[in-house]
A and B are shown apart, each in its own frame.
Chain A
Amino acid sequence: MNRVPMEGKVLNENARVAAELRERFSERHVFVVNLISSPGSGKTTLLEKTLEAFPRDSRVAVLTGDLQTENDANRLKRYGFPVKQIVTGGTCHLDARMIEKHIADWDLSQLDLLIVENVGNLVCPSSYDLGETAKIVLLSVTEGEDKPLKYPSIFFKSELMVLTKTDLLPYVPFDSSLAIANARLVHPEMEVVKVACLAGDGLREWMSWLEQRRQIFLSRLAQPVGQGI
């Protein structure tokens, strides 16, 4: 009997495809964000408001994942930007291959921003790198403040937490500062933006976070190899 060392990630194949995607996105200067949250915390509504806020000539595209239906893509296509639905057929997360397949006929050099809306699930999507520049987690005020402690993986890996539906705060027993403190226990550097999409609050901060983060992405691309993301 012999014990031989084995190296590498378990999700090696996904990691390989994700690394290829990241390289393609970097070459074409496409800033990619991966939005993750529980079902119903407001990813699609945030996207609707985001697309509405972009000037019509913005170079933005969206991939939206769900187990079934084209409903989200239909909601998002109204804004005139390229939108594709990824129907996973039961799989609880998006993986790098699905992204690769769905961007195959898009000319990436025509894009500045690609927003990926993951399947509504706070657990599984966190294990699958999609080649994105940044993961963003949404938490709505109708959920519990302890979600970051119960589902630490995604809060650990996200750069930004978007606290959604803040216009409902007068009606729900949700302590925003506790939720933010919990997120920072898991991930001390977590940035936070608060939005109320239907009321239009916080959207300016959200849009400026996206643009500032994109500028950081572009400035890192300009640095010598090895200094990247």
Chain B
Amino acid sequence: MHEMGIANSILEGVAKELRSRPGSRAIQVGVRIGELAGVDPGSLSFAFEALTIDTPFAALKLDVEYVAPRSRCRECNREFEVRNYELFCPACGSLNSTRISGDELEFKYLEIDEAEDEAVKCCDLEVNKK
């Protein structure tokens, strides 16, 4: 569905980051997606591959951290991870909680090969000429 647009936005984010690091090559990009974000990790990986194939980003890997929602208990203030919609506070058993996260769709990190310094590049050129 809309995963293609999201994959494209990830690539735009990577391209922007690389512009501030001339000569660097992106190897892997990490993103965090909440289970309530409405984004399917499988579809996203598929869209990402489809968009990068035969492009300069072909070797770029996508690392998705799929995270469960978290709630905070209104009785004892404990924060806890919500699995299978079970809203009981693990500390006090109260059902009175408020959802504090779950719809993340954000960047985490970018793994890059740093630009080599000019001297090395020049040598490489010399070698290539031979």
- With contacts A123-B2, A153-B103, A189-B98 taken as known, whether A10 is within 8 angstroms of B109 at the C-beta atoms is no
Contact A156 B13 (CB under 8 A): no
Contact B6 A127 (CB under 8 A): yes
Contact B85 A127 (CB under 8 A): no
Give the number of A-B contacts (CB < 8 Å).
100
Q: B46 interface residue, CB < 8 Å from A?
A: no
| B 38-68 to A, binary, CB cutoff 8 A, 1 in contact else 0 | 1100000000000000000000000000000
Chain A contacts of B85 at CB under 8 A? 149, 185-186
Q: A170 interface residue, CB < 8 Å from B?
A: no
Contact A6 B36 (CB under 8 A): no
Question: Residue on B with the closest CB to A182?
Answer: B85
Contact B112 A10 (CB under 8 A): no
Contact A6 B99 (CB under 8 A): no
Contact B111 A1 (CB under 8 A): yes
Q: B114 interface residue, CB < 8 Å from A?
A: yes
Cα distance A58–B13 in the bound complex, in angstroms: 43
Write the residues of chain A forming the contact surface with B, with a CB cutoff of 8 angstroms.
1-14, 92-93, 121, 123-124, 126-128, 149, 151-154, 156-157, 185-189
Write the residues of chain B forming the contact surface with A, with a CB cutoff of 8 angstroms.
1-2, 6, 9-10, 12-13, 17, 21, 27, 29-31, 35-39, 69, 71, 85, 87, 96-99, 102-103, 105-114
